[in-house]
Chains A and B, each alone.
Chain A
């Protein structure tokens, strides 16, 4: 477990170079206990690459990643699996495994005594207990997303890395899933997530970092960072940020007028 003083995850000056292309350039990021950090930016900005570096899938060409006090390269597969769980954009599962079996996969290679409890509570939390005996492959995309989320929750790690968890969900499912994610964060977990939907980040994230062409162009609290001028410049389209009322956060919409 990580002490409350040092960040759960911290990366510094990450650069990733593929051939002649620089995918990420000197990106730094950290996340604490009880914090949801959103990685935002246009297509090709390097969001998923950054998430891959944080997950330990990719070794950066320069820079460092630390989980607590330990460098990521010091951790083997199993230690990594106890440290962070990763939700990919979509998981195709070969062979007709049931929902319960898929969630149980989150427990990894060695099943222990308390595993069933973690599996049950993860299924309960994502509201998939009732479909435990259905085949994962027969579910709708939205249901599969919930089951996959239950699977990584069953992994029971401090840190959750989510790659566009809401991309395939309708607005109702999206809201439901994000409330669950938010409640996990409020209980002390750490979530770093890539989002395409700026409004999701605006409503749920504690901090956002904005990437453009592999560079970190802005970061901070969503309301201060996701401003009309910053977003318009990053997304190369005029974007408005409108305050609706005092209860909900501002909403981000592309402007009907073209960019000047």
Chain B
């Protein structure tokens, strides 16, 4: 008898890479101003340098608007999906996700506090505050949701609700205090958008994402062993307490830096790992890399939809992912309740 209907990870990796390339090309050419494929290649090989006179509109849009936005979408999507995988592994629960448990909310609060304090002029000021807020929220959620060494899922979700409510309130308070300019940025943080993508944002998030994702792959085997539960994981040689702290720091790093660049984009970290677990099985070695790829694809597609569906108006990306993600979350919740063993 064989319960395993899993696909070969190598085939999935190739398929996802091809899909990513196709989506990237589409995202680069589609928008308020269409750039044809041949023109894409032309401006790509022209390089970013501006030669006065010969520059086309396509060149400017490609290098200054589309490309940083696409790269940021890839980086943020990969970060959020990997953060989701790691968090689900360490919490031993597929419902854990940076946004639903309040990490993204915490990071957004950190960012908003930094903005209202006028720290956005300082290099990395917003990012550092987002990181502190996100990591703090992760630690609180984790500390509160554990009962007798196990993560209690009901408490986990409830803690997430409380933290999200608190961050909503704090962001509201910041809006109350803030001047008009700041309000615009604050709103951006709570709704989530790639609309402010710049090379500067890419430069800030990319190194953190690379470090976070690379570090998380070091834990792929350990995260598998965590599925045994704390006690049994310890019995086979996992230093559970240390692993927990390290992986939570990684989640904080990935989710917070993503939120610092784009605001709260919910549910990517929930949907992507879930789909891939169905396709590949739960082993983290495969799950981490494939989630990075699919996270990038999903975020790119969502952003493409956000800026083309109601063009020329642009939907906030976070709103769009929540519109798709929340029903999915409810469906998952229902599915899990019907099979009791999946709760822990």
Contacts and interface: CB of A to CB of B under 8 A. Distances in A.
Contacts of A138: 3
A98 B237 contact: no
Interface stretch (A117-125, A128-136, A165-173, A247-255): A128-136
A77 interface: yes
A196 to B, nearest CB: 20
Contacts of A241: none
Interface in A84-100: 85-86, 88, 91-98
B174 to A, nearest CB: 38
A94 B236 contact: no
Nearest to B344: A92
B3 A94 contact: no
Given A88-B231, A91-B232, A133 B2 contact: yes
Interface size class of A (residues with CB under 8 A): 20 to 34
Interface in B202-245: 221-222, 224-225, 227-229, 231-232, 234-239
Given A95-B94, A98-B281, A134-B1, A81 B344 contact: no
A155 B236 CA distance: 7
Given A109-B221, A134-B2, A93 B228 contact: yes
B295 to A, nearest CB: 19
A171 to B, nearest CB: 25
Contacts, number: 91
Given A57-B231, A133-B2, A135-B4, A94 B342 contact: yes
Interface of A: 55, 57, 76-78, 80-82, 85-86, 88, 91-98, 101, 105-111, 131, 133-135, 137-138, 155
Interface in B233-272: 234-239
B220 to A, nearest CB: 10
Contacts of B342: 94, 137
Contact of A133 (B3, B232, B234, B239): B3
Contact of A105 (B228, B234, B239, B344): B228
B238 A108 contact: yes
Output the residue of A55, A78, A94, A155 with the most chain B CB within 10 A: A94
Contact of B224 (A55, A80, A101, A133): A101
